[in-house]
Amino acid sequence: MNIKSSNPSYHILYIILVFLVLTLVFGHSWGNSMAAFYFVSMLLPIVLGTSYFFNYFLVPHYYMKKRFVRFGFYTFYTMVVSIYLEMIVLLFAFVYLVNFRFSKIGPNASDTILLAVILYLLVFLGSLLLMARQIKEKQQLISELMADKEKMEKPFLEIMSNRKKVKVPFDEILFIESLSDYIKVHTVKEEITSKEKISNIDERLPEMFLRIHRSFIVNKQRINNFTYNEIVIGDTSLNIGRSYKKTVRESLQK
């Protein structure tokens, strides 16, 4: 399981879901939604802290590496610590709730076993959401790799030039330049012009090519040198577009 998270919407969704579930559970059983709201507000950091520690530290560092004994040991102590923190929250919660004069608080608020069960149900719910998100990301990555493989199986770019179909081998292309209403393919042998749009060409090229500017696509294998602002291919320097700089830097530094 990947411990990194590139999608903040997952975390926002999970926090909202946890808060709503806890508020609804305690609000319904107590018959006092406002008291449940205050109680859950104090309980939420423990639930989230336990969930993130379990899913983003224990699972990737121990379970995924098949260190099951340590995983079980640390999971047990995580549960003990989280229940202890819940009891502290209970103590402060009752003090504050009494001050706010909430009288209709059900007895299950002090049931630590019930609280522990609810806590770990939410922890495992977080695990399921995390796995679902990662499966979706892996499927997307596989689709991209398969598409790139299909492009590489046909090792040439097919374009119309002077009303004829021309097949240009990928490894001979230096860069592709967009000029108003046509493109120019610069190769090691010649320059080939076509009426196609550079955006359409970009979709048909494999991963060895990189869009660096609205007017330029380069063959990464033909790059001699590059800086933050430009790429050098042979004797030609090509500017990197402002909106492409981050993507270009990440791609070339892999």
| pTM (predicted TM-score) | 0.45
More confident residue, 236 or 125: 236
Q: What percent of the chain has pLDDT over 90?
A: 27
Q: Give the tens place of pLDDT for each residue, 70-86.
A: 988 988 888 888 878 87
Q: Give the tens place of pLDDT for each residue, 87-127.
A: 787 777 666 655 554 444 554 555 556 666 666 676 777 66
Rounded to whole angstroms, how far apart are CA atoms 209 and 202? Answer: 8
Q: Give the tens place of pLDDT for each residue, 45-74.
A: 887 888 888 878 888 888 778 888 998 898
Which of 199, 144, 201 is closest to 168 using CA atoms? 201
Amino acid at 217: I
Do 44 and 19 meet the contact criterion of CB atoms below 8 Å apart?
yes
Has residue 250 got a pLDDT over 80?
yes
More confident residue, 110 or 36: 36
More confident residue, 3 or 206: 206
The pLDDT assigned to 102 comes to 47
Task: Provide the token pair at 204.
Answer: 């048909």
Looking at every residue in the chain, the average pLDDT score rounds to: 79
In order of start, what are the domains of the chain with their CATH numbers? 8-151 (no CATH), 156-252 (2.40.50.1020)
31 φ, ψ (degrees, to nearest 5):
75, 25
Spatial CB neighbours of 10, under 8 Å, sequence gap ≥ 6:
129, 130, 133
Has residue 12 got a pLDDT over 90?
no
The pLDDT assigned to 229 comes to 92
User: In the chain, what are the helix, strand and coil shares in percent, each to the nearest 5?
Assistant: 60, 20, 20
| Other CB atoms within 10 A of residue 210 CB | 21
Q: Give the tens place of pLDDT for each residue, 152-172.
A: 566 888 899 988 999 899 989
